[in-house]
Amino acid sequence: MEMNRRDFLRGMGAAGAGMMVFNQTSGLFAQNANPAATPANSNINVALIGAGTQGRILAECIRKIPGINFKAICDIWEYNRNYTAKRIKAYTKKTVNAYIDYKEMLEKEPDLDAVVIATPDCYHAEHTIACLKAGKHVYCEKEMSHKLELAAEMVKTANETGKLLQIGHQRRSNPVYQYAYKMIHEDKMCGRLTALYGQWNRTPEDLLAWPAGKEVPEDILKQYGYDNMEQFKNWRWFKKYSGGPIADLGSHQIDIFSWFLNAEPYAVTAFGGADYFPNREWYEDVTVMYDYKTTFDGKPGSARSYYQVLNTSGWQEYYERFAGDRGTINLSENPKNCFYIPGSNVEIPKWMEGIEQMTLGGGVQAIPLIPALKNRGDDYKAVMEDFEQKQGHHLHLENFFAAVAKNDKKMLNCPGEIGYDTCVTVLSVIPAVEKGGLKIR
């Protein structure tokens, strides 16, 4: 399928302060105009649909990006709608129009240029497609959709309307990840990648509650397809609204495996358990293995990834690890878990010399990536310092608005096509779990 080809678009992505532009296919950095500066005079009118936990984080980032006018928000829950509208007004000193229904918002806000969508996954396709058809560019949170056919429809609509669609896999705009890609593919600091590992481990948590007396009225819940308030708040755990923890958390990290291997997996095997919590539908724990056909230095080879999401045990939290025959890189959104371990008898580059090493379990010495990258040169240092101020969501939104300002799809770090490929890979886990492995007893 045309849309299933990851190489359709890797695009030129903006790195950090925009001192460089990063090409994810070639891994090359080039000096370029500061893309973050592009929106400063660009007057982009923006609305947010979905002002919950993530919507608020995105709203906080958007209000800080120069050149963006926050015009409207839409949320079916009065509690979240009012909270976020008040916060934006307090900072921007401008009124933000608030709507319950996105159709009314699109009708009454004809001047919107772009819409940021942070509703539950089951609503991503409806909201994205309507906004694209109304002529708006869209930043839609991951997981792009809980249904593959809906994700495909989102890509198709973006291409038909010519509007930009960015998916919220923000690691793709994180310069630590972008530089790690370069270390692997240009500097060859890990040699040939053969084994990837990732995890997101959490201690068991109760279902989310809501402030007493602040429920969404029954008729609104029903109108928008929510069975009750508990499911409305805990949509991630129910099949009607979400692909479950493997889609919610795994999609971020499994997406990075494909990016770093320049390949999509051709096969999957997986196991999952849905027997720990009595009150939820989705698999709380999933272990997955993918197999990839790769090339290294022009030679064909293979690699495997192992991924687990646990909601029953939290040790070591979340990270991704890329192991090859000359070294290993560990990455995480937690900067403390970003480090390089050279293989035995592998010389480290000059810019890593003198960096205070960290001691891991078993006394293993690792070189922390952020101080090392800051030592690599002035451009790297500036990008890393900018990253430390802003973090991933902000940079991913900056990348989106920079692309919107130039109406240039090639600038997007995570266009719909990549989001779709990730959906194919991640949602394949569900039938793989249902099928089970080779029975031995």
Ligand X SMILES: NC(=O)c1ccc[n+]([C@@H]2O[C@H](COP(=O)([O-])OP(=O)(O)OC[C@H]3O[C@@H](n4cnc5c(N)ncnc54)[C@H](O)[C@@H]3O)[C@@H](O)[C@H]2O)c1
Q: Where does this chain bind ligand X (CB under 6 A)?
A: 49-55, 74-77, 80, 102, 118-121, 123, 141-143, 168, 170, 224, 248
Token pair recorded at residue 363: 């006394």
Please report how close the Cβ of residue 171 comes to ligand X at its closest, in angstroms.
9
In 94-147, where does DSSP find H-type helix?
Answer: 102-108, 124-133
With beta carbons less than 8 A apart as the criterion, state whether 261 and 234 touch.
Answer: no
Please report how close the Cβ of residue 164 comes to ligand X at its closest, in angstroms.
18
With beta carbons less than 8 A apart as the criterion, state whether 92 and 22 touch.
Answer: no
DSSP state of 207: P
With beta carbons less than 8 A apart as the criterion, state whether 369 and 176 touch.
Answer: yes
With beta carbons less than 8 A apart as the criterion, state whether 378 and 358 touch.
Answer: no
For strand 97-99 and strand 68-74, is the pairing parallel, antiparallel, or unpaired?
Answer: parallel
Please report how close the Cβ of residue 216 comes to ligand X at its closest, in angstroms.
7
Q: Which is nearer to ligand X, 11 or 55 (CB)?
A: 55
Q: Which is nearer to ligand X, 75 or 113 (CB)?
A: 75
Q: Which is nearer to ligand X, 174 or 262 (CB)?
A: 174
Q: Name the phi and psi angles at 155, rounded to 5.
A: -65, -45
> Rounded CA gap, 404 and 412, in Å?
9
Q: Which is nearer to ligand X, 75 or 262 (CB)?
A: 75
Please report how close the Cβ of residue 266 comes to ligand X at its closest, in angstroms.
27
Strand partners, 73: 48, 98
The angle at the Cα of 141, spanning 138 to 142, to the nearest 5 degrees, equals 130
Q: Which is nearer to ligand X, 168 or 244 (CB)?
A: 168
Please report how close the Cβ of residue 140 comes to ligand X at its closest, in angstroms.
8
Q: Which is nearer to ligand X, 75 or 421 (CB)?
A: 75
State the residue number with the nearest CB to ligand X.
52
Q: Which is nearer to ligand X, 80 or 201 (CB)?
A: 80
Secondary structure of residue 216 in the 3-state scheme:
coil
Secondary structure of residue 81 in the 3-state scheme:
helix
Q: Name the phi and psi angles at 82, rounded to 5.
A: -65, -40
Please report how close the Cβ of residue 367 comes to ligand X at its closest, in angstroms.
27
Please report how close the Cβ of residue 314 comes to ligand X at its closest, in angstroms.
17
